[in-house]
Structure 1
Amino acid sequence: MMAFSSDEYRYDPPDQLANRPPFRRLRGYAFDPSLSIRLETAAINHAVFEIPWERYLKPGPRGEYVEVIDYDPASACWYEPVDLNATNLLAQDGLAPSEGNPQFHQQMVYAVAMNTINHFEQALGRQVLWSPQTNPEAESGQRDSFVRTLRIYPHALRAANAYYSPEKKALLFGYFQGQTGTVFSCLSQDIVAHETTHALLDGMHRRYVEDNHPDTLAFHEAFADLVALFQHFTFPEVLRHQIARTRGDLETQSLLGELAQQFGEATGRYGALRNAIGEPDRDGKWKLVVPNPDRLRDATEPHERGSILVAAMFSAFLAIYKVRTKGIIALASAGSGILPQGALHPNLVDALANEATRAAHHFLSMCIRALDYCPPFDITYGDYLRALITADYDMVSNDRYGYRVALIESFRRWGIIPQGLKTLSEEQLRWPYARLEYEDSDGMQWNALAALAVELKDLISASLYLQDREKVFNHLTEARLKAHEYLRGVLEENMTLQRENFMKVTGLNMNRDAGLPGLSFRPSGLPSFEVHSVLPTLRVTPDGQIMKQLIISMTQRLKDMPIDPEIPANGTFDFRGGSTLIFDMEGESPTLRYAITRPINDAARLAAIQTYRQTRLGQGLSLRETYFGDTTALRAAEPFCMLHGEN
């Protein structure tokens, strides 16, 4: 995490860096306040978050990535911002957890948001950027402006609601009166992590909020839940307590697999808002959910459908946990596999907890890293499975614990099967290597896409050494413009082989007589296209190897396609084509490794989106069983408000 680069801030000189604390310790709730008034869980619910140190953190808190603005519109009240650099707070790991102290609320949302951001940066191998502010009226190449901080409003509304706003670049948390007192969504670690993840995912893939098929919004919800769930395993005291209580059997009901306990109970549910592997029956008794491959086919509501992806991922994690702890259990049970009656020995609890932490951290990193291997829009669960397998193979080719096998088996049991594959083997699931055709140019083998990576190499390499995120954003914006101009220049020349090869790899249509309704053209007669993002990554594999990759996404759109060609009054949408290109940047000659493509001329995909949108016309985005309850149709600019709240 880096400090501001504006005149108000400066970077530390080397002597200051050497003496800088490695992290800031802040107290908070491991789950939510309700567990602090239960005798069984009171001792473990107060956790200490260790987040990257920001020396120039201002009151709010206001730092490099987030700024907390504590205005309560319902009460017309500003709450005094907390100063986490105050000596008395530094000496005691911040404020003590308190439901009634607004300054602690500010500390809580800052700590959880920064903890989540840190996990993303470690997995991605680069600094995270929020989605930019976009001005569609500006000139091409100048429409996006840098957003330094995500704003967080702990008391934004008096309602059973919390959501990320793409329009405001903000997290808005609500509060409401429950049966036992006021419930603050900003005090739930799960809810804050969930909403922060929405913002981070939107910063990486802005098109994922487009509701073009059943998996799109469901994936956003499921992915946010997965990040919150796997972060449970970063709290040592909680983990040891729950492993001791369940005697090491994480397939039984535990806090580790539940989300937002207080919120769920306060809104009339039997227990937690959601559970990864279980659910209450008609009598309110918790039971393990049995995988049903037909469930995905029938699930249409985003959270119901999202729960299937969560269950598939968490079931794979539990399978790996069993593999990693098999030897420990065998030693503790004299080879029988059945632990003796009574409390587990503390050393055994520690050993099981260590293995659970390692497995959960690996799964969390897998989930985040796979985002770089996904298409730039219209993601499906099958795409995500393939991205998980491919990204993990690139990072850890020797899968000695069977993480990828566990994922494949679990996804198959839950009915998540990518289309077009003959088998569900690891080799079939990995994205195929891209095939580029080269031509002789002055006696040299040459390809436009391979040459593009060479053209960008110096620019994107320089961005990896920049500390200031705004400079990184500007460098990458320059790289996008350079990539677009370079490719446009190549494609406007009459180079048939290069144009055909480019279209085959990227899925774009660059023919002057494309014949696609809704496709726009440049004055030269070449169809328009967009270099959507250029992202360099620098990752270190477990065996110490450095992976240097360049990820470029290119898109094209057909504007104003009718939802129902026979009923124009039903409205229009933009249909997109394009691809995610992943280059290996090793050596002097970068190579294109993968091309994850959605062709713009895919008539079948267009028809499927039209059919899906027709079925949604009556629903809009007014979905009953959502994250927090009833919703009514709201503007498409606030999809997460529509998913998460009551109007």
Structure 2
Amino acid sequence: MSNYPAPPRRRLRAFAFDPGRSTRLDTAAINEVTIPVRWETDLSPGPVGEYLEVVDVDPASNRLYRPVDLNDPHLLAQDGLAPSLGTPQFHQQMIYAVAMTTIERFEEALGRRALWAAGRYVGADGRTKYVEFVQRLRVYPHALREANAYYSPAKKALLFGYFPAAPARRDGALPGGLVFTCLSHDVVAHETTHALLDGMHRRFAEPSNPDVLAFHEAFADLVALFQHFSFPEALRHQIARTRGDLGAESLLAQLAQEFGRAAGGHGALRDALGGPSDDGRWRPRRPDPHALERALEPHDRGSVLVAAVFGAFVAIYRERTARLVRIATGGSGILPEGALPHDLVDALADQAAKAASHLLRMCIRALDYCPPVDVTFGEYLRALITADRDLVPDDAHGYRVALVESFRAWGIYPDGVRSLSEEALLWRAPRGEEADAIRRALGDAEAIRERFVPDWGLRTDREAVSDAANEACEEVNKALMSGPHYDAAEALGLTLRPDAPGSISRSSYWSRTHPNSPALEIHAVRPARRVAPSGEIHTDLVAVATQRRFGFFDSDRQAAADAGTMKDVEEQADFVFRAGATLLIDLATGRPRYLIGKRIDDDARLDRQRRYLRDRFNPALQGVYFGARSAADPAPEPFALLHRAAPSP
């Protein structure tokens, strides 16, 4: 036992982008970064820590690689292993460093511990449901010999592949050279984000509309992109190279450059701002209000959301740096020929890093303001605006204005609003009768704090956090069912009435005391803690409730299921239609502040989902994408197929 306090950070070396950038003279000096990772006292070889367990098994080669020991004094003295393409232990080190950094970004933005999606299964009786705490996400650096990497919801694991590069093209990729996806900073951050998002919103992996899987992909891309701006040397280098124009071609806006080239493309796997034209030259991508009408594949569609958010970032950066450029140019705003002064580069880089950091926090915080099912891009815009307005009422730097303007330029509009003003985009508070019904069910502020608020601090044991959160979910369920509180459920867009349509799933747990009552699932009860620029701490309780209804492609069969004349509805159903609500409650007053949801009795939305699933997917893919009907019948691997089918750049 050491007599000295543990250091706050463990410094680990990694590639800033991917190994290929270290073999190019113009980027070799910036491609090695040292990442300050939160110190884990109990970190063991693997590395195996509180959140991650790196397991380096290579099934294709029948190899088990020796795990790296990041507590070795020699490694501690030199910031870990030096970047190396051929050293499996460096692969383990880098994947751990990048994934832990991504986790920390989420915890800083949300003010609480990150939890992985729970393991869910049923007992031998086919009825009793169990929820299992998943402490560590397993990470396999060499799991696949293919050009793929994905998050597995079933295994609670990240699986990274490696593959030989395609024949050489004009970009100079080594033909047949091995490409390891675990050495791409972007790929690791992207896949870790999928896992973190699944831990918060597990129904976002079910494509009930064209935006759902696209949102998963776009959000993961945005987190990876904005992490580029946390590397000071790379940021200054790219600002100097582009002469301060972040709207020009830049590594900062590109994802997985080596992966894209090695897979046979002309450049990066995806580019937020542009891409190669027919002559091979990079061209900026202009905002297209009709892009979503043409984009159906999730990556293509997600790229529109990425372009909208990143376009807003570029606009904010230009606005924040215009004064610096005017000062540097004597008021003309026109930079002279030649290299930019170092001081100006540093000042521009500082503004870019601040804007990127703030937008990343905005993107993550908005997750607490999204509906729990069937999310759309327009609803995410409303979540972005509401979450930021909650924390920063005065939009002095125009972040919210820039987002609205960019979303409009790309044709992304929310339903149900009469204008794109900030006030119109804010989520609504429950109306008087709705708020009263919710408060009658849940109690006053003191009762809510005593019954439903789990201890979810950044220093609390994560398993204790999970247990407390599950208990809070059970308490909310009991509170709603104790009446049962029909009016409170209806305020949430759900139903507890026995005479509800027969296609709505029934509760086996409450069957004795509440015969034929629809099942109500409380997905999450968690605090949302945020620190305002003034230093004031805001804390809300976020409660997420959902229900499921069984859908049929044939309208007559749907009518029979709704009327209760069909037997074995669950077994005969073609798909699952979900509804739910996210409720934010002010813990100081007990007042419901926002109610964000989708109604279970929305037959128009049911019909839209029916048409989308029937027309978009062939029968072979329906079982992969439509999601599970029960805990005993988990969905297969949606991200494995989704990433394998990603379009070539």
TM-score (norm 2): 0.90
Check whether the contact 2:320–2:397 (CA below 8 A) recurs between aligned residues: yes
Task: Give the drift of 1:539.
Answer: 1.9
Aligned with 2:483: secondary structure?
A: helix
1:515/1:646 CA distance change after superposition, 3 Å: closer
Matched, 1:464 2:450: no
Q: Which residue of 1 aligns with 2:578?
A: 576
Check whether the contact 1:207–1:376 (CA below 8 A) recurs between aligned residues: yes
- Range with bigger deviation, 150-159 or 510-519: 510-519
Q: Which consecutive segments of 4 or more residues in structure 1 shift more than 6 A?
A: 138-141, 566-570
- Range with bigger deviation, 277-286 or 237-246: 277-286
1:120/1:549 CA distance change after superposition, 3 Å: same
Q: Which residue of 2 aligns with 1:618?
A: 618
Q: Which residue of 1 aligns with 2:538?
A: 547
Q: Which residue of 2 aligns with 1:49?
A: 35
Q: Partner amino acid for 1:576?
A: R
Task: Give the drift of 1:621.
Answer: 4.6
Task: Give the drift of 1:616.
Answer: 2.4
Task: Give the drift of 1:566.
Answer: 6.4
> Separation in 2 of the partners of 1:86 and 1:431?
51
Matched, 1:537 2:528: yes
Q: Deviations over 1:210-243 (max 9, x none)?
A: 1111001000000000000000000000000000
> Separation in 1 of the partners of 2:315 and 2:637?
37
Q: Deviations over 1:512-548 (max 9, x none)?
A: 2223424425422332211111011222111100011
Matched, 1:344 2:340: yes
Q: Deviations over 1:36-94 (max 9, x none)?
A: 00000000000011111001100000000001000000010000000000000000000
Matched, 1:290 2:286: yes
Of 239, 245, 248, which residue of structure 1 is paired with 2:241? 245
Task: Give the drift of 1:564.
Answer: 3.8
- Range with bigger deviation, 561-570 or 528-537: 561-570
Matched, 1:407 2:399: no
> Separation in 2 of the partners of 1:65 and 1:257?
29
5 Å matches for 1:294-373? 294-373=290-369
Check whether the contact 2:540–2:584 (CA below 8 A) recurs between aligned residues: yes
Check whether the contact 1:508–1:577 (CA below 8 A) recurs between aligned residues: yes
5 Å matches for 1:82-97? 82-97=68-83
1:579/1:439 CA distance change after superposition, 3 Å: closer
1:134/1:27 CA distance change after superposition, 3 Å: same
> Separation in 2 of the partners of 1:419 and 1:578?
17
> Separation in 1 of the partners of 2:438 and 2:522?
21
Q: Which residue of 2 aligns with 1:598?
A: 598
CA RMSD of aligned residues (A): 2.2
Of 44, 48, 67, which residue of structure 2 is paired with 1:62? 48
Q: Partner amino acid for 1:637?
A: P
- Range with bigger deviation, 478-487 or 514-523: 514-523
Q: Which residue of 1 aligns with 2:479?
A: 486
5 Å matches for 1:101-180? 101-137=87-123, 143-178=130-165, 179=167, 180=174
Matched, 1:387 2:383: yes
1:446/1:327 CA distance change after superposition, 3 Å: closer
Q: Partner amino acid for 1:381?
A: F
Aligned with 1:43: secondary structure?
A: helix
Q: Which residue of 2 aligns with 1:477?
A: 470
Task: Give the drift of 1:504.
Answer: 3.9
Aligned with 2:28: secondary structure?
A: coil
Check whether the contact 1:456–1:479 (CA below 8 A) recurs between aligned residues: no
Aligned with 1:578: secondary structure?
A: strand
> Separation in 2 of the partners of 1:222 and 1:36?
27
Task: Give the drift of 1:617.
Answer: 3.0
Q: Which residue of 1 aligns with 2:187?
A: 191
Check whether the contact 1:508–1:578 (CA below 8 A) recurs between aligned residues: yes
Aligned with 1:342: secondary structure?
A: coil
Q: Deviations over 1:232-269 (max 9, x none)?
A: 00000000000000000011100000000000000111
Q: Deviations over 1:114-140 (max 9, x none)?
A: 000000000011000000110133798
1:123/1:620 CA distance change after superposition, 3 Å: farther
Check whether the contact 2:312–2:406 (CA below 8 A) recurs between aligned residues: yes
Task: Give the drift of 1:366.
Answer: 0.5
Q: Which residue of 2 aligns with 1:512?
A: 498
Q: Which residue of 1 aligns with 2:178?
A: 182
Matched, 1:220 2:211: no
Task: Give the drift of 1:383.
Answer: 0.7
1:309/1:254 CA distance change after superposition, 3 Å: same
TM-score (norm 1): 0.90
1:446/1:185 CA distance change after superposition, 3 Å: closer
Of 552, 573, 579, which residue of structure 2 is paired with 1:562? 552
1:119/1:579 CA distance change after superposition, 3 Å: same
Q: Partner amino acid for 1:393?
A: R
1:454/1:558 CA distance change after superposition, 3 Å: farther
Task: Give the drift of 1:558.
Answer: 1.2
> Separation in 1 of the partners of 2:546 and 2:619?
29
Check whether the contact 2:545–2:581 (CA below 8 A) recurs between aligned residues: yes
Task: Give the drift of 1:619.
Answer: 7.3
Q: Which residue of 1 aligns with 2:519?
A: 528
Equivalenced residue count is 607
- Range with bigger deviation, 102-111 or 539-548: 539-548
> Separation in 1 of the partners of 2:435 and 2:211?
40
Check whether the contact 1:61–1:83 (CA below 8 A) recurs between aligned residues: yes
1:77/1:509 CA distance change after superposition, 3 Å: same
> Separation in 2 of the partners of 1:439 and 1:31?
49
Aligned with 1:477: secondary structure?
A: helix
Q: Deviations over 1:448-470 (max 9, x none)?
A: 24517643413555513562100
> Separation in 1 of the partners of 2:299 and 2:331?
42
Aligned with 1:100: secondary structure?
A: coil
Q: Deviations over 1:303-362 (max 9, x none)?
A: 000000000000000000011101101001111111111100100000000000000000
Structure 1 gap segments, 5+ residues each: 1-11, 492-497, 623-634
Q: Which residue of 2 aligns with 1:5?
A: none
Q: Partner amino acid for 1:342?
A: G
1:187/1:452 CA distance change after superposition, 3 Å: farther
Q: Partner amino acid for 2:637?
A: E
Aligned with 1:174: secondary structure?
A: strand
Q: Which residue of 2 aligns with 1:495?
A: none
- Range with bigger deviation, 404-413 or 524-533: 524-533
Check whether the contact 1:621–1:642 (CA below 8 A) recurs between aligned residues: no
Q: Which residue of 1 aligns with 2:447?
A: 455
- Range with bigger deviation, 543-552 or 635-644: 635-644
Check whether the contact 2:444–2:590 (CA below 8 A) recurs between aligned residues: no
Aligned with 2:139: secondary structure?
A: strand
> Separation in 1 of the partners of 2:141 and 2:314?
34
Q: Partner amino acid for 1:597?
A: G
Q: Deviations over 1:568-593 (max 9, x none)?
A: 9996111111200001112xx31100
Identity of aligned residues (%): 53
